[in-house]
Amino acid sequence: MPEKIQQVQKRMLISLAQIAKSINIQEGDYVALEERNGGIFIRPVSWHDKNQEYFWSSEWQEKVKRSCEALQKGEFETFDNTDDLLKVLGDENADDNSN
């Protein structure tokens, strides 16, 4: 990525608008600032990893909640091997020992 020149504004503010989209920074996100070799390194951070953002969506959290409830009720199966699991899931090639 080519170098971007940005003027420091009042109260030491700078705008990330020129590069925010390319590194997936949006208003309200957090960034870590690290001094490195006489410069500043900025990277997006969160209380969870940005590439796991989907997991924290309301849809996924509802799925996790239902899964936890099913576990607490004992609504699950166990398997002695992966072939048996794959058969239940409908994999026609479960017995070909290709793994």
pLDDT, one tens digit per residue, over 38-86 is 999 988 887 777 788 888 889 999 999 999 999 999 999 999 999 999 9
Residue 99 has pLDDT above 70, yes or no: no
User: Does 16 share its domain with 37?
Assistant: yes
Q: Global pTM?
A: 0.42
The whole-angstrom separation of Cα 87 and Cα 9 is 63
Counted domains in the chain: 2
The answer to whether residue 31 sits within a structural domain is yes
Strand, coil or helix: 44: strand
Residues 70/44, Cβ–Cβ less than 8 Å: no
Residues 48/56, Cβ–Cβ less than 8 Å: yes
The answer to whether residue 99 sits within a structural domain is no
Q: Which domain holds residue 78?
A: 57-89
Q: CA gyration radius for the chain?
A: 24
Both structure tokens of 30:
């957090």
